[in-house]
Structure 1
Amino acid sequence: MTDTLQELGAALLAAARRAGADAADAVAVRGTSVAVDVRAGKLENAERSEGVDLGLRVFLGQRQAIVSASDTAPRTIDEMAERAVAMAREAPEDPYAGLAAPEDLAPGGQGDTLELSDPAPEPDPAQLEACAQEAEAAALAVPGVSQTQGASAGYGTHEIHLTASNGFSGGYRRTTRSTSCVAISGSGTAMERDYDGDSRTFQCDLRSPAEIGRLAGERAAERHGARRPKTGSYPVLFDERISSSLIGHLLAAANGAAVARGASWLKDAMGEQVLPAALSLIEDPYRPRASGSRPFDGEGLATRRRAIVEDGRLTGWTLDLASARKLGLTSTANAARGTSSSPAPANWNIELTPGPHSRADLIAQMGTGLLITSMIGSTINPNTGDYSRGASGFWVENGEIAYPVNECTIAGNLRDMLARIIPANDARPWLSRVVPSVLIEGMTLAGN
Structure 2
Amino acid sequence: MSTIDMTPLLHRLLDKVADLGAEADIIANQDKAFSLKADKGELSEYKVTSSQQLGIRLIKDGRVGLAYSESLDESALDTMLQDALDACRFAKVDPDQRISVQGSRLSTDCPEIYQPDNTPVEEKIALALRLESDILALPDVTGAPYNSVYEGESQLCLANSLGTLCQHKEFSVGCYSSALIERDGRHSMHYQGQQARRFDELNPGALVTQIHAMADDLLPGEAVPSGRYSAIFTLDCLASLFGCFQAALSGKWAQQGINPWRGKLGQSVASRWLTLESRIHMPGGMRIKGFDGEGTPTQDVLLIGEGELKTLLHNSASAHHFGVVSNGAAARSARGALDVAPRHLVFGLGPHTQAEVKAGEYLELVKLDGLHSGADAVSGDFSFGASGFLCRDGERIQPVRGITVAGNFYRLLGELEAVGDVLHHDDGKGFYAPLIRFGGLSIAGK
Give the TM-score, by structure 1 length. Answer: 0.91
* Structure 1 residue 277 displacement after superposition: 2.0
**Aligned to 2:236, what secondary structure does the other structure show?**
coil
Does the 8 A contact of 1:270 with 1:314 survive in 2?
A: yes
State the partner residue of 2:311. Answer: 316
CA distance in 1, matches of 2:151, 2:266: 43
1:438 to 436, 439, 443: 436
State the partner residue of 2:7. Answer: 6
* Structure 1 residue 328 displacement after superposition: 2.6
State the partner residue of 1:343. Answer: 338
Matches within 5 A, 1:302-381: 302-355=297-350, 362-363=357-358, 365-367=359-361, 369-378=362-371, 379-381=374-376
State the partner residue of 1:112. Answer: 109
Does the 8 A contact of 2:315 with 2:329 survive in 1?
A: yes
Does the 8 A contact of 1:29 with 1:161 survive in 2?
A: yes
CA distance in 1, matches of 2:434, 2:306: 17
* Structure 1 residue 327 displacement after superposition: 2.3
State the partner residue of 2:401. Answer: 406
Matches within 5 A, 1:206-245: 206-245=201-240
Does the 8 A contact of 2:415 with 2:440 survive in 1?
A: no
Q: Where does structure 1 lack aligned partners over 5 or more consecutive residues? A: none
Indicate yes or no: 2:151 matched with 1:150. no
Matches within 5 A, 1:86-97: 86-97=86-97
**Aligned to 2:441, what secondary structure does the other structure show?**
strand
Farther-moved stretch of structure 1 (394-403 vs 3-12): 394-403
Farther-moved stretch of structure 1 (296-305 vs 78-87): 78-87
CA deviation digits over 1:327-368, x for unaligned, max 9?
2322111111111112101111111113465656533x132x
Q: Where does structure 2 lack aligned partners over 5 or more consecutive residues? A: none
Farther-moved stretch of structure 1 (323-332 vs 65-74): 323-332
**Aligned to 2:235, what secondary structure does the other structure show?**
coil
CA distance in 2, matches of 1:237, 1:406: 16
CA deviation digits over 1:269-305, x for unaligned, max 9?
2112223323321211133542211111111111111
* Structure 1 residue 79 displacement after superposition: 2.1
State the partner residue of 1:195. Answer: 191
CA distance in 2, matches of 1:383, 1:196: 30
Does the 8 A contact of 1:371 with 1:395 survive in 2?
A: yes
CA distance in 1, matches of 2:36, 2:117: 19
Which residue identity lines up with residue 120 of structure 1 in the other structure? D
Which residue identity lines up with residue 63 of structure 1 in the other structure? R
CA distance in 1, matches of 2:101, 2:210: 50
Matches within 5 A, 1:393-432: 393-397=388-392, 400-421=395-416, 422-424=418-420, 425=422, 427-428=424-425, 431-432=429-430
Does the 8 A contact of 1:109 with 1:171 survive in 2?
A: yes
CA distance in 2, matches of 1:135, 1:366: 37
Does the 8 A contact of 1:395 with 1:403 survive in 2?
A: yes
**Aligned to 2:178, what secondary structure does the other structure show?**
strand
Matches within 5 A, 1:257-296: 257-287=252-282, 289-296=284-291
CA distance in 2, matches of 1:375, 1:28: 36
Matches within 5 A, 1:31-42: 31-42=31-42
Does the 8 A contact of 1:180 with 1:197 survive in 2?
A: yes
CA distance in 1, matches of 2:340, 2:399: 39
1:167 to 163, 168, 182: 163
CA distance in 2, matches of 1:210, 1:398: 29
Indicate yes or no: 2:73 matched with 1:73. yes
Matches within 5 A, 1:48-87: 48-87=48-87
Which residue identity lines up with residue 375 of structure 2 in the other structure? I
CA distance in 2, matches of 1:226, 1:339: 46
Give the superposed CA RMSD.
2.3
Farther-moved stretch of structure 1 (172-181 vs 274-283): 274-283
Does the 8 A contact of 2:38 with 2:147 survive in 1?
A: yes
Does the 8 A contact of 1:16 with 1:85 survive in 2?
A: no
Specify whether residues 399 and 32 from structure 1 end up closer, same or farther in structure 2 by C-alpha distance, changes over 3 A only. Answer: closer
Does the 8 A contact of 1:138 with 1:214 survive in 2?
A: no
Post-superposition, which runs of at least 4 consecutive aligned residues in structure 1 deviate over 6 A?
Answer: none
Specify whether residues 217 and 40 from structure 1 end up closer, same or farther in structure 2 by C-alpha distance, changes over 3 A only. Answer: farther
**Aligned to 1:404, what secondary structure does the other structure show?**
strand
CA distance in 1, matches of 2:114, 2:21: 35
Does the 8 A contact of 1:113 with 1:288 survive in 2?
A: no
CA distance in 1, matches of 2:146, 2:313: 38
CA distance in 2, matches of 1:214, 1:225: 19
Does the 8 A contact of 1:272 with 1:314 survive in 2?
A: yes
Does the 8 A contact of 2:314 with 2:340 survive in 1?
A: yes
State the partner residue of 1:138. Answer: 134
The alignment covers a number of residue pairs equal to 439
Does the 8 A contact of 1:116 with 1:201 survive in 2?
A: yes
